Structure 1
Amino acid sequence: MCLPHTEMTVFEGEHIPSANKSYFKANIMPLLGNDSYWICVVVTVYNEEGKDLTDTLVSLHRQARNLRPGCMMHVLVAVDGWGAATACMRRALARMFPGSAQDRHRVSLDKQSEPSWMEVLDSYAVGHVATFVLQELSGESILPVELEGGELLHVSLLVKADNRRKHNSHEWFLRAFAATYSSRYLFFTDAGTTADEHCIGRLASYMDANPSYCATTGFQRVACRPGASVIQMLHAEIQYYELGPGMCSCIKAAQACVGFQMILCGPCTMVRSSTVTSNVLDEFFGMMNTDPATAGILVANLQLTEDLAFGCYLYALADGNYRTGYVPDAFFNYDVETKPEKYLKQRRRWMNGLVAGMNHLLFKLLFTRHERPLPQRILLALVFVFQYHFSMQFLILPAFYMCAAYSMLGGFHTDPSSELYMVNAIKPTRPWIPPAGAFAFWAFLAAWAVTHHRRAYVGWLYHLVLALVMVGGGLLGGGSMVIWRVSPAGDAWGGGGADGWGPAAAAMGAVCAAVPVLSAAAALDPRGLRVSVVNSFLQLWFMPMYIFTGAYAMARFGDITWGNRPHQSASQDGAKRDECMRRCRRAGHLVVAAYLLANAAVGTLLILLGHFRWLGVDPFMVSTVVIIAPVALSSIFGLSFTTCYMARYRWAPWIRSRASRVMQAQRAAAGKLPARDAGLAEPLISEA
């Protein structure tokens, strides 16, 4: 009889898996039935805590218990860079893979002891290219590992001595692990991500019922860790509307009607394994493994967002007219970044990768490398157009804030009855105050962008911006409206002077712009309409914070040496790498200079147009045309597709289920059906 033991295999010098080579033991529990299949799952780990990994695995175990009969799950934990593993992560891995029989006895006697395979890993120098595969075996058969609560789950462990970034873990998963076990579906997640107990089951059911879909993603709910500070909770609430039921979910629903999800969320994506062909893998990983020194600025920044790149490559290169979908009832909890430094780094990576991805993938991949019907290409172009507008707002919005600061300080009008802003309360008597305020805003933006371009993170500057946004947004924004309403010069529902721009018109415009987004968000928000409205106001109140975050990200667009740095290969000498960094910094200097000059020029032009009324142009009409009108069109576009999506995937199943219940109840009452069978099976996408 073979005793359970942990077997470790070392593959030295293998940066990526080789073709036609076996890395994992294939003997695992056989499937029962012709309709049975495996779901292979990858959990990527870098420097997370051990509890993060344990929570994710326990969540996967709960989801595995709720899979339909005959469906099995096998998990690969991929640790990227053993030197970054924390002490609690080592303890969590030691519990799952306790080593040989001697190791198990020694560890049971001394809780501080570690299995001998960890000593082997520690003996490798940091940066040494080596890959380790660990599996719990009995003879040649794979055994499930024991989790912290005693749960059993089939888990294999892949450890890389050096840090090769997340996409390398995915390459080992796709080329080596998934190829060994011939699974039907592949599921991607990260350490620290938890999900509803039916998440994977609903994704798999959706894929079973829709064979034309090659990948799907779920609905992300923002999670905040217990014990977070007030500022961290505020960050989480702001991101809740942005990442959850607000813009992201509306965009996902609209893109689902087109059949193309631009971004497949890294913590929750299911892929049909038969569509992941060698052509897709060669193209995608060929791009991701390209040396940034020769890849160019677009590809180098696209390498920062593997979620966007992989979904687009899969959609464009998979054999067949496949789609990528969205399942709103597959809930997963996303642990947002609440620390300012990590939050800014994450947003820089997302925004740079999104802009680079749209430029690279739109013209070089999606419209030239795949065959799609003309109507679908037109809808796909609309998705990119509105996504372009959403992203490019960050380029010119500081100019409009600069113009707004000039107006709030009384720079445009002299008639108190026509002024809507703070001038009715402060009535400045110095003509230099409005231009000084506008210049101060632009100078502050320049200091923010330049400082963060030269350094990674400046804490005092970030908190100063946050304080100014809270005070300025409250006083100069909503506060000025209240002051105008209670001032003698203001009329309760009219006025506005010669321009006719009063509170009624402003409120009407705000309602027309907000209703489509809020209605769509409320329909998709599991926490209800009230929470959607509250979070949307938080989003609007802190909009200047997003503007400065966008400025920070755009200012570092040319710097590919910061953030998720590519692995420093031994073949690249120091002189070549230093020259590459200098070239990237020079490109970044040009980007930030062009960004600041463009905003200064646009803001100055708007101020001159408003001050002198050149050509009869009102700067606020310009801002309405440039910003509000496209946003309204985007909202109508998103609401239309969201309504179609809700009608197809939510309301239609609900109506069918209710009608079927009534019919079966009537048949049961008539004696044609046993009463116990009068119920209806749960629909494909259940009610939230």
Structure 2
Amino acid sequence: MSPYPNGGQSPSDYPMQNVTVQYNPNANPFDDDPPQRDFSQDAPLLLSSGYNRNQNTAINNPPAQNGHNGNYSHTPSLAPGYTPPSPGYVPPSPYVPYQQPGLGMTMPTPQVRQNPFGTPDQRQPAQFDMSASVPLGPGGFAPLPNSPRLISPGTPDTRHYGPAPVAQRRRFHTTKKVNLTSGNLVLDCPVPSKFLKTLKHQEGEEFTHMRYTAATCDPNDFLAENYTLRSLIVEEQPRETELFIVMTMYNEDEVLFTRTMHGVMKNIRHLTTRDRSRTWGPDAWKKVVVCIVSDGRSKINPKTLNVLAAMGVYQDGVAKSVVNDKPVTAHIYEYTTQVSIDPEMQRSGHDKGYVPVQILFCLKEKNAKKLNSHRWFFNAFGQVLKPNVCVLLDVGTRPGATSIYHLWKAFDLNSNVGGACGEICAMLGRGGSQLLNPLVASQNFEYKMSNILDKPLESVFGYISVLPGAFSAYRYRALQNDPSGQGPLEKYFLGEKFHGSDANIFTANMYLAEDRILCFELVAKRNSAWVLQYVKSAYGETDVPSTVAEFISQRRRWLNGSFFASVYALTHSMAIWRSDHSTARKMFFHVEFFYSFVSLFFSWFALANFYLTFYILGNAMVFELNPDGTVGQSSPFGENDIGFWVFTVTRYIYILLIIAQFIMSMGNRPQGSNWAYKSSMAFFAILMGYMLFGAGYMTVNGINHAQEEAAAESGSGESIAALYFQNAMFRNTVISLASTYGLYFFSSFLFLEPWHMFHSFLQYLFMVPSYVNILNVYAFCNIHDISWGTKGDTSVATDLGVAKKTADGVEVTVPTDSHDINMAYDEAVSALSVKTVEVKQSRDAKTKQEDYYREIRTRVLLSWIMSNALLVALVTSTVFGDFKTTSTMYLGIVLWSVAGLALFRFFGSVIYMILRLFNGRII
């Protein structure tokens, strides 16, 4: 019986059929759908027993041809000019060595070998004999690939053990000619088809294509170089941009990015639900553009790029480095995404109510700092879109679900509002777990009290000293410079020019708090009357430093920047009179400037004030006898010297630690002295406990003395309260406690936010000495350091190679070829024969600048130390009078000043709450 179908006698009776593959060169390379193949006559499939009998009926029962007139024939139709092979012809098989005629070479045969010995063995590549014939199996075919074959034990094993290898992405690049748009490279790239199929809106170029623009200009020349943005051309009428939101990032990971991006998309979703609004509604997303600016292509986190690609915003392999011999300065990707990804990497879309969002992703080619990112936002994209309100966010800050709307509403209600900010909250973790860290708890208390006392007070006056760049908003029109180029943005971006240049140290430090400069210049803008406002209903959550090193580094920049920026605002306070504010408003501004001056004065002498407070409280617990043998001063430790020795030892340790802070701050980084700073913070916390104990003892002792005096003077006709307050110790102690801790509690309950007083107040209280003695010292000792941020680039360079640990040791790459080793040796020896030209040593510009900064640092630091030391000497020395008299007078001045400042802040916050309740202009 013939092994071939229909009685065929050889493979020649069934020649290979024509197979036509249709391939579209313009197809999307990211489309996973395979090209359509047209199998007009499928070739028979080869089985172990011959051809598949049931594959194609046209082959099993071919039509009558070649003169048979419909009669049955074993011979299929042949192409014209086809010559049948000889009867002994064996078709080529993928499992048989193939020798190309005329070349005298044989292609190797893939072997799937089975080890008959049952264990993996070392095998050698298969060798093929050119002259050897291949034995054929039944029917004249070569053995199948899975046929057992005995091999030698020395042949290497090619089998793979372990998880399946990761598939490598194949790129199909198509070279095509494109026309430049106004001389600029602009590409419309289709999004992946499998991604598009999951979306609600699958039509419209803004949904089906990602637009890439290669910018080769400076941000200030973006509009002049004829660049445009998609939102202006996607429809017949350019879309109006009401909200322009910017998210600036450096190397933040995908969790921080999605935390902010997901929060922004929630806010845009909320805008579409406000059906009764004249501005917002179902199509509100068309009035919002989200701009993401990443500072440096080599710095961005790859996982963040993956998130952007999953949202359809980014495509790899599209960007170009040079266009028309011009280096690209920024890669701009535009896409209207319908996908939101949360920090848990869960995807959400229209099924959960999310609406399309217009995204503009600007990936800067080089790292040029945050100010340059804002210059791209304001001067490049802002000039094109002309938005009404600009919202500034740092990646990592999560805005509340309705916070952006509340920020915008402040501008909508009051046409004079030029800037606004919301509440910055510290992230406390799941269930407040981060509060177990005293650093986080103390910062949480700081943020809360600032939002309860400081921001409302400044908002009432109309000038907020700082709108935090992490979450704030500005009216775009208010920021614009005048025709001569002078204005808020011009002053704001001077910091980019000064940073790293020959700017003086005052200006360099001042621009560490560039947002403070922008706020002052906005309020003092010539011929304008813009005010700044605090919006309590808007909030943004952000991570706070949780380690000592990060905390100290962040506060160094904050303290130095705010100090020098405050000096700038005070020295330029008369610039307020060039604005169009009313006379009453200008006078209120000067009242606020005086408050700022007093606060700045106390911050300068904070080191001395804290030491003197400790000195006075410690002395108050030392037992003393009068010359006549009577008790001059009682002690909580009894009538002995314990109080004296406790005070003396503690004082010497305190002084020693202050000296240590100066040494560490000038010679070590916080990251390198982590244990020393932690130890210092632990001692200062114990010191605060000692001072609180002394304050409590003085309070009780003062009350007892007041009771005794009141009882003695009970017949004088004066009230008991008046008699109590005649006692200086009682009066000073009660006033200080009531004006600080009492107002903290009262104002917190007034704002209906008292919880931080219960879970964060104690941590803050014990961290106060570290704020004064560690943070201030480190900041003043490093005013020459004008670097930014707390999370620097800590990546490790790998250009020299990596020694990788394996099971057998360490795997390294070293030169082993004798030719390479000898060549390197010859190069080193020959270099010795070249005489080095002597170059006159001179300081370069960078070294001169660093020396200048360090010299100014020394002057400022000496001034700070000497002024604080002089104050300590004046109070503690007996040259100027009795210590008790001097200390009582000093303590009274300090405590009453603190009480006055606290009351001033409290009254401001109360007025803010009243205006918020009865006046719609304050949200």
TM range (shorter): 0.7 to 0.9
Q: Which residue in 1 is equivalent to 2:767?
A: 542
| Equivalence for 1:349 | 557
Task: Give the Cα–Cα distance (whole angstroms) in 2 for the partners of residues 560 and 424 of structure 1.
Answer: 50
Change (3 A) 1:58 1:494: same
Q: Per-residue deviation at 1:561?
A: 4.2
CA separation of 1:225 and 1:535: change in aligned 2, threshold 3 A = closer
Contact 2:467/2:515, CA 8 A, preserved across alignment: yes
Equivalent residues in 2 for 1:156-195, closer than 5 Å: 156-195=360-399
**Contact between 1:39 and 1:187, CA under 8 Å: does it hold in 2?**
yes
Q: Distance between the aligned counterparts of 2:337 and 2:401, measured in 1?
A: 20
Residues 409, 437 of structure 1: 8 Å contact kept? no
Name the amino acid aligned to 1:514. Answer: Y
Partner residue, 1:213: 417
Aligned to 2:641: 427
Which residue does the alignment assign to 2:458? 255
- The answer as to whether partners of 1:216 and 1:270 remain within 8 angstroms in 2 is yes
Deviations along 1:380-439, whole A, 9 cap, x unmatched? 1222222233344333232233334444554876159665766648724878x7566435
- 1:133 and 2:331 matched: yes
Correspondences of 1:307-318 after superposition (within 5 Å): 307-317=515-525
Q: Alpha carbons of 1:533 and 1:495: their partners in 2 closer, same or farther (altered >3 Å)?
A: farther
Aligned match for 1:375, one of 559, 576, 584: 584
Quote the residue 2:8 is aligned against. none
The amino acid of 1:478's aligned partner reads L
Structure 1 Cα separation of the partners of residues 250 and 634 of structure 2: 52
Q: CA RMSD in A?
A: 3.9
Q: How does 1:164-563 map to 2 (within 5 A)?
A: 164-226=368-430, 233-244=437-448, 246-278=449-481, 279-280=486-487, 281-290=489-498, 293-317=501-525, 320-364=528-572, 366-367=575-576, 369-410=578-619, 414-415=624-625, 419=633, 424=638, 427-428=641-642, 437-457=650-670, 458-474=673-689, 476-480=690-694, 491=704, 494=707, 500=727, 506-507=733-734, 509-525=736-752, 528-532=753-757, 534-556=759-781, 558-563=783-788
The change in CA–CA distance for 1:410 and 1:209 in structure 2 (over 3 A counts) is closer
Moved more, 251-260 or 218-227: 218-227
- Per-residue deviation, 1:452: 1.0
1:559, CA displacement in angstroms?
A: 0.7
- Deviation, 1:549, is 3.8
Q: Is the 8 A contact 2:623 2:641 kept in 1?
A: no
Kept after mapping to 1: 8 A contact 2:212/2:331 = yes
The amino acid that maps onto 1:290 is: F
In terms of Rg, which structure is larger?
Answer: 2
Cα deviation, residue 282, structure 1 = 2.4
TM-score w.r.t. the length of structure 1 is 0.79
Using the alignment, how far apart are the partners of 2:462 and 2:703 within structure 1? Answer: 50
**Segment drifting more, 498-507 vs 284-293:** 498-507
- 5+ residue gaps, structure 2, are 1-187, 191-207, 275-279, 342-346, 350-355, 711-723, 793-841
1:622: Cα distance to partner?
Answer: 0.5
Matched position secondary structure for 1:461: helix
SS across alignment from 1:294: coil
Distance 1:60 1:563, change over 3 A: closer
Q: Residue 294 of structure 2 aligns with which residue?
A: 79
1:578 to 2:851 alignment: no
- Any idea what the Cα deviations from partners look like across 1:582-621, whole Å, max 9, x if unmatched? 111121122223322332222232222599516x733143
Cα offsets for 1:109-158 (capped at 9, x unmatched)? xxxxxx2247x67x99xxx985323324xxxxx53363322344221111
**In structure 2, distance between residues paired with 1:511 and 1:76:** 48
Equivalent-residue separation in structure 2 for 1:190 and 1:166 (angstroms): 10
> Distance in 1 between the 2:897 and 2:554 partners?
27
Q: Does 1:623 align with 2:885?
A: no
Q: State the alpha-carbon separation in 1 of the partners of residues 295 and 289 from structure 2.
A: 19
SS of residue paired to 2:230: coil
Moved more, 495-504 or 300-309: 495-504
| Mean CA deviation greater in 514-523 or 376-385 | 514-523
- Structure 1 range deviating more: 265-274 or 445-454: 445-454
Q: CA deviation at 1:448?
A: 0.5
Question: Which sits farther off after the overlay, 351-360 or 593-602?
Answer: 593-602
Displacement of 1:354: 1.2
Deviation string, structure 1 residues 426-483 (Cα, Å, up to 9, x no partner): 724878x756643542332132033212322121221012211222222x12334567
Contact 1:185 1:271 in 2 (8 A): yes
Q: TM-score, normalised by structure 2?
A: 0.60
- The aligned amino acid for 1:282 is E
Q: Could you tell me which amino acid in structure 2 is paired with residue 560 of structure 1? A: D
C-alpha contact (below 8 Å) 1:41/1:73 kept by paired residues: yes
Deviation sequence 1:9-64 (CA, Å, 0-9, x none): 33347375545234442345989999975200000001211111111111011111
Q: Displacement of 1:258 after TM fit?
A: 1.0
Name the SS for the 2:290 alignment partner.
strand
**Alpha-carbon spacing, 1:591–1:130, altered in 2? closer, same or farther (3 Å):** farther
Aligned residue-pair number: 618
Q: 2:51 matched to which residue of 1?
A: none
Contact 1:79/1:160, CA 8 A, preserved across alignment = yes
Equivalents in 2 of 1:423, 1:618: separation in Å? 25
Q: Which deviations, in whole Å up to 9, do the C-alpha atoms of 1:162-199 show, x marking residues without a partner?
A: 22111111111011112222221111011011122111
From 297, 305, 310, the counterpart of 1:90: 305
Post-superposition shift, 1:353? 1.1
Q: Which amino acid aligns with 1:263?
A: V
Is contact 1:215-1:272 (8 Å) kept?
yes
Q: What is the deviation of 1:530?
A: 4.4
Verify the 8 A CA contact 2:313 2:359 in the aligned structure 1. Answer: no
Deviation per residue, 1:625-681 (Å, 9 max, x gap): 0x322221112222222222111112x26xxxxxxxxxxxxxxxxxxxxxxxxxxxx
Partners of 1:517 and 1:635 within 8 A in 2: no
| Whole-Å separation in 2 of the counterparts to 1:579 and 1:638 | 44
Q: 1:257 to 1:404 in 2, by over 3 A?
A: closer
| Paired position in structure 2 for 1:633 | 900
Structure 2 residue identity aligned to 1:519 = F
When residues 2 and 43 of structure 1 are mapped into structure 2, their CA distance, relative to the original with a 3 A threshold, is closer
Task: Give 1:349 deviation, angstroms.
Answer: 1.1
Identical pairs, percent: 16
